[in-house]
Structure 1
Amino acid sequence: MQAVRVAELLTVGEFARLTHLTVKALRHYHDVGVLEPAWIDPSTSYRYYTAEQVEPAQLVRRLREVRMPVDGVRRVVSAADPAARDAMIAAHLDVLRQELTATAAAVGSLRALLTGSSAGELTFRQAGEEQCLMIDGDVDQDSLTPWCAMAYPLLYEVAGRWGLTPAGPAGALYAFEWFQAGGPVTAFLPVAAPPDGERVARPDGGGVRWGVLPAQALAVAVHAGPCRDLDQTYGVLGRQVLERGVGASGPVRELYLVTSADTDDPARLRTEVCWPVTPSSLSL
Structure 2
Amino acid sequence: MQAVRVAQLLTVGEFSRLTHLTVKALRHYHEAGVLEPASVDPSTGYRYYTAEQVDLAQLVRRLREVRMPVAGVRQVVSTADPLARESMIAAHLDVLRQELTATAAAVGSLRALLAGGATDELTFRQAGEQQCLMIDGHVDQDSLTAWCAMAYPLLYAVAGRWGLAPSGPSGALYAFEWFQVGGQVTAFLPVAAPGAGQRGWRADGGQVRWGALPAQRLAVAVHAGPCGDLDRTYGALGRQVLGRGIGAPGPVRELYLVTSADTDDPDQLRTEVCWPVTGPPS
Report whether the alignment pairs 1:204 with 2:203.
Answer: yes
Distance 1:208 1:27 in 2: 57
1:183-222 alignment to 2 at 5 Å? 183-194=183-194, 196-197=196-197, 199=198, 204-206=203-205, 207-222=207-222
Distance 1:51 1:130 in 2: 73
Matched residue of 2:260: which SS? coil
1:148 counterpart residue number? 148
Q: Map Cα deviations across residues 45-88 of structure 1 (whole Å, 9 max, x no partner).
A: 55432221111111111112122222332232222222332233
Distance 1:176 1:41 in 2: 66
Kindly tell me the number of residue pairs found equivalent between the two proteins: 279
Matched residue of 2:246: which SS? coil
Distance 1:269 1:191 in 2: 22
Aligned partners of 2:130 and 2:190 also within 8 Å: yes
Report whether the alignment pairs 1:249 with 2:249.
Answer: yes
Matched residue of 1:135: which SS? strand
Unaligned residue ranges in structure 2 (runs of 5+): none
2:111 counterpart residue number? 111
Q: Which amino acid aligns with 2:214?
A: P
Report whether the alignment pairs 1:265 with 2:265.
Answer: yes
2:24 counterpart residue number? 24
- For structure 1, which segment, 33-42 or 185-194, has the greater mean C-alpha deviation from structure 2 after superposition? 33-42
Aligned partners of 1:118 and 1:232 also within 8 Å: no
1:279 counterpart residue number? 279
Q: Map Cα deviations across residues 165-222 of structure 1 (whole Å, 9 max, x no partner).
A: 111111111122222212222111111114735x469762342122121111111100
Q: Which amino acid aligns with 1:73?
A: V
1:89 counterpart residue number? 89
1:58-137 alignment to 2 at 5 Å? 58-116=58-116, 119-137=119-137
Matched residue of 1:76: which SS? helix
1:54 counterpart residue number? 54
Aligned partners of 2:218 and 2:276 also within 8 Å: yes
Aligned partners of 1:119 and 1:221 also within 8 Å: no
Distance 2:208 2:70 in 1: 48
CA offset at residue 4 of structure 1? 6.6
Identity %: 79
- For structure 1, which segment, 183-192 or 85-94, has the greater mean C-alpha deviation from structure 2 after superposition? 85-94
Q: Map Cα deviations across residues 138-181 of structure 1 (whole Å, 9 max, x no partner).
A: 22222221111111111111111111111111111112222221
Unaligned residue ranges in structure 1 (runs of 5+): none
Q: Which amino acid aligns with 1:20?
A: H
Matched residue of 2:58: which SS? helix
CA offset at residue 119 of structure 1? 5.0
What TM-score does the superposition give when structure 2 sets the normalisation length? 0.88
Q: Which amino acid aligns with 1:275?
A: W
Q: Which amino acid aligns with 1:204?
A: A
CA offset at residue 269 of structure 1? 0.5
Distance 2:139 2:279 in 1: 30
- Structure number with the higher helix fraction is 1
Distance 1:195 1:57 in 2: 68
Distance 2:261 2:168 in 1: 15
